[in-house]
Structure 1
Amino acid sequence: MISARTLERDDSLRDKALRIVRQAIVSGEIKSGEVCSATALARQLGVSVSPVREAMLTLVNAGIMEPVRNIGFRVAELTPADLDEVFELRLMLEVPAVRALADVDLTAERDRLDQLVRATEVSAEDRDVNTFLAADREFHLALLELHGNRRLLDWVAILRDQTRLYGLRESDTHTLSEAAGEHRSILNAVLDGDGEAADRLLSAHLAHTRSDWAHPPER
């Protein structure tokens, strides 16, 4: 179940519920195949059922959850073939977009991007898997946002959330540190205007994500 959190009323409750539920799925707090009650989760988050149900329906539309009639929602289970398809699509969509950024002057974005990479490095050093996963997501999507194609950004965000990084645990410090180092190398290549290196490094990084992180848990 999701660890205790509260939602503030000044922003969209649906969006906050969506962010919390998504992160709980990605981090493994809500496990693949586990059935969740919108009512129970709303009680945990201290809000009405409506925004939580809306958040879950959004995840259903994204292929991340599926409805269970008269019970609630469950995290959709992915096969190795499903994960291979996601990996292939990310290569097709994400790599060319990031490579193209090497031809763009990103001087104004340098500090922000550096801070995002640094966040992955610090969380890797701290063995904080949940914070690392959030920072990893933010870094990748920040690069794509600079490409300027909103639909591309939305599609890759959905693909990332479908993958879910099953294999990461607090003990996988070497994996986290390697990934953070790859983030740094990718960013340096983009900022140096080396599109070929950015292409190669991001392709390898995504391959590591598929082979080392995203594998269905053993039953």
Structure 2
Amino acid sequence: MKQGAQGSAGTGIPEVRPGAARVPPQPRATDMERERDVPAAGVRGEHTHSERPIPRPRPAVQRSSVRGQILDALRTALVAGELKPGEVYSAPALGERFGVSATPVREAMQQLALEGAVEVVPNRGFRVVERGARELAELAEVRALIEVPVMLRLARTVPAERWAELRPLAEVTVRAASSGCRATYAESDRAFHRAVLSLAGNEQLVQIAEDLHRRAQWPLVGGPVRPAHADLVADAAEHTALLEALIARDLDVVQLLVREHFAGAA
């Protein structure tokens, strides 16, 4: 799977594959910004010449909330398989990719390190964590332990009209699955689960479940970059079926569907 990376002449920056969407050029950092752009501890002197080419992100990065937009773009690239497990990426090279300085990239990568998606490699950058099937199964088990009891409790207490309000979110997951885009589906999948759990009125629960859900969506080392289209479609269909069972107050079907949903996530 690994390919040798080639940089632009004299720059050491990885080239972008032809056909990838481009990010509009951003205003260059001021002298003061460049002075602040000092490598963080553990990543000083990052090298870029050995990195494989990675496609430019689809969304354009604006000057406002740069760090947050870079973090979202990196998360999308991670889920889409553009950032490969085991590969090392430097903040300067990724900054070149996004058309920004290395500082917001480094800050976003530090956040991903806190989330367990990457790890710091001294003097080089950040390595995407390699995950196996066992970790994915463990995440699915923990998610089920947290979410299944909550969903069953909500099934007994939330009125049908509140569940009906979530139909548009379930339909979005179906359309996202049909597109075959893993990153698009991952975002809509989290949004649906977040909306369901929000009905419990426990923000801590929602945040913990969101973190576990996001981690469960990271690609596996040696696994396929894209899941089978049929798997995405089947997963999205379970959202619609679950809502219909919740609206009908069919608790037996609700329990069966939520348990099968998390079993399939393993």
Do they fold alike, i.e. is TM over 0.5? yes
**Selected match of 1:33 from 65, 70, 86:** 86
Contact 2:117 2:129 in 1 (8 A): yes
Matched, 1:88 2:141: yes
Match of 1:83, SS state, is: helix
Q: Identify if the C-alpha distance between structure 1 residues 39 and 105 changes in structure 2 by more than 3 Å, giving closer, same or farther.
A: farther
Aligned CA-pair RMSD: 2.2
Give the drift of 1:81: 2.7
Give the drift of 1:169: 5.7
Q: State the one-letter code of the partner of 1:15.
A: G
Match of 1:147, SS state, is: coil
Q: State the one-letter code of the partner of 1:175.
A: D
Match of 2:85, SS state, is: coil
Give the drift of 1:196: 4.2
Contact 1:27 1:130 in 2 (8 A): yes
Q: Identify if the C-alpha distance between structure 1 residues 100 and 13 changes in structure 2 by more than 3 Å, giving closer, same or farther.
A: farther
Return the TM-score normalized by structure 2.
Answer: 0.70
Q: Identify if the C-alpha distance between structure 1 residues 169 and 72 changes in structure 2 by more than 3 Å, giving closer, same or farther.
A: closer
**Selected match of 1:188 from 231, 235, 244:** 244
Determine the structure 2 residue equivalent to 1:213. none
Structure 2 counterparts to residues 160-199 of structure 1, below 5 A = 160-163=213-216, 164-166=218-220, 172-199=228-255
Give the drift of 1:170: 5.6
Contact 1:27 1:133 in 2 (8 A): no
Cα distance in 1 for partners of 2:224, 2:184 equals 12
Q: Identify if the C-alpha distance between structure 1 residues 2 and 158 changes in structure 2 by more than 3 Å, giving closer, same or farther.
A: farther
Determine the structure 1 residue equivalent to 2:8. none
**Selected match of 2:111 from 43, 58, 72:** 58
Q: State the one-letter code of the partner of 2:244.
A: N
Give the drift of 1:189: 2.4
Cα distance in 2 for partners of 1:171, 1:150 equals 31
Taking every aligned residue pair, what percent have the same amino acid on both sides? Answer: 35
Cα distance in 1 for partners of 2:192, 2:92 equals 33
Matched, 1:6 2:60: yes
Give the drift of 1:101: 2.2
Give the structure, 1 or 2, with the largest relative contact order (CA under 8 Å, sep 6 or more): 1
Determine the structure 2 residue equivalent to 1:18. 71
Determine the structure 1 residue equivalent to 2:43. none
Cα distance in 2 for partners of 1:100, 1:197 equals 14
Q: Higher mean Cα deviation, 54-63 or 122-131? A: 122-131
Q: State the one-letter code of the partner of 2:161.
A: T
Q: State the one-letter code of the partner of 1:49.
A: A
Give the drift of 1:66: 1.0
Match of 2:159, SS state, is: coil
Q: Report how many aligned residue pairs link the two structures.
A: 208
Contact 2:160 2:248 in 1 (8 A): no
Q: Identify if the C-alpha distance between structure 1 residues 9 and 194 changes in structure 2 by more than 3 Å, giving closer, same or farther.
A: farther
Cα distance in 2 for partners of 1:197, 1:25 equals 35
Gap runs ≥5 in structure 1:
211-219
Q: State the one-letter code of the partner of 1:185.
A: A
Determine the structure 1 residue equivalent to 2:256. 200
**Selected match of 1:107 from 126, 148, 161:** 161
What whole-Å deviation, never above 9, does each CA across 1:41-98 have from its counterpart, x for those lacking one? 2222222322222221111111121111111112211233322221111011111222
Cα distance in 2 for partners of 1:2, 1:147 equals 40
Give the drift of 1:124: 2.4
Give the drift of 1:203: 1.7
Cα distance in 2 for partners of 1:55, 1:22 equals 10
Cα distance in 1 for partners of 2:146, 2:251 equals 15
Contact 2:117 2:128 in 1 (8 A): yes
Match of 2:199, SS state, is: helix
Match of 1:50, SS state, is: helix
